Amino acid sequence: MPATPSWPPKSAPRLFVAEPLSEGLVVDIGGNQAHYLARVMRVSAGDTVILCDNQTGEWTAEVSDVAKRYLTLTVTNQLRPREEVPDFWLCAALLKKDCFDLVLEKATELGVARIQPVLMRRCVADKLNLERASTIVTEAAEQCARTALPKLEEPVKLEALLRHWPEDRLLFFADEDGGRPANAAFAASAGPAALLVGPEGGFDDAERAMLRNHPAVSPISLGPRILRGETAAIAATALWMGIKGDWPDEK
């Protein structure tokens, strides 16, 4: 995967927009994004902004007008095509708000393809504000220079997740009661993968039995300590990226 180019400067603001980008396209930016560009980043006419559309990739755009509530930009050059994303899903138990916010942000930075919130019997939280979650994911992608957004799904119950699980995807189940060491399990695996991490109270006996009987599930251990759910999700995702993801790619 190519490194971020040296021009424009890394400090140029980056934003995801909804419409597909192309050279010469004129884009109006309003709402919070306009506030961010005009008031926080203090961009003015002639400045360069980096735009991504989650479809074609990353582009430079020149600010042509700064009005009170919106900015107008003209797309100039393509910097990078949309990146290839490692085929790794994070299926994380819905945690209390701040903890799950952290999971959303770090999973995005680490490069997962899909984030699937999962409802389990011992979850403390039972609802996710999808719009707010999507903003966290988008801002994390802007900050870390991703050109692709992870797909963020609505929460599903564990039973439903397993019932519809795709045959060809391995599901690593982070089990605090023990399993194969995660580094060995990841290294020995091939193909599409996913990680399941439990909630604050862990998995109950029925959930653990259902998981251990599922043909796609591979129980893993994340070491001798009991990690918080958010730590387990972030640490195991980082470990998978280091062994099977895009960390080993030459820049």
Q: Which residues bind ligand SAM (CB under 6 A)?
A: 174-176, 197-198, 200-203, 221-223, 225-229, 232
Which amino acid would we find at residue 225? R
Residue nearest to ligand SAM (CB): 198
Tell me whether residue 23 or residue 177 sits nearer to ligand SAM (CB atom).
177
Tell me whether residue 29 or residue 174 sits nearer to ligand SAM (CB atom).
174
Two structure tokens written together for 101: 């916010």
The CB-of-97 to ligand SAM minimum distance in angstroms stands at 16
The CB-of-168 to ligand SAM minimum distance in angstroms stands at 23
- For residues 182, 187, 188, 190, the Cα torsion angle rounded to the nearest 10 degrees is 110
Q: Which residues are paired to 51 by β-bridges?
A: 15, 59
Tell me whether residue 153 or residue 176 sits nearer to ligand SAM (CB atom).
176
The CB-of-191 to ligand SAM minimum distance in angstroms stands at 22
The CB-of-244 to ligand SAM minimum distance in angstroms stands at 18
User: What number of CA atoms fall less than 13 Å from residue 177's CA on the CB side?
Assistant: 13
Tell me whether residue 150 or residue 179 sits nearer to ligand SAM (CB atom).
179
Tell me whether residue 66 or residue 239 sits nearer to ligand SAM (CB atom).
239
The CB-of-47 to ligand SAM minimum distance in angstroms stands at 44
The CB-of-192 to ligand SAM minimum distance in angstroms stands at 20
Residue with tokens 């934003």: 15
Tell me whether residue 25 or residue 210 sits nearer to ligand SAM (CB atom).
210
Q: Decide if 76 contacts 60 (C-beta within 8 A).
A: yes
Concatenated DSSP letters of 119-148: E-TT-S-----HHHHHHHHHHHHHHHT-SS
Backbone dihedral angles phi then psi of residue 208, each to the nearest 5 degrees: -65, -40
Residue 88 makes CB contacts below 8 A (sequence gap 6+) with 111, 112, 113, 192, 193, 194, 195, 237, 240, 241, 244, 245
Two structure tokens written together for 241: 């990226």
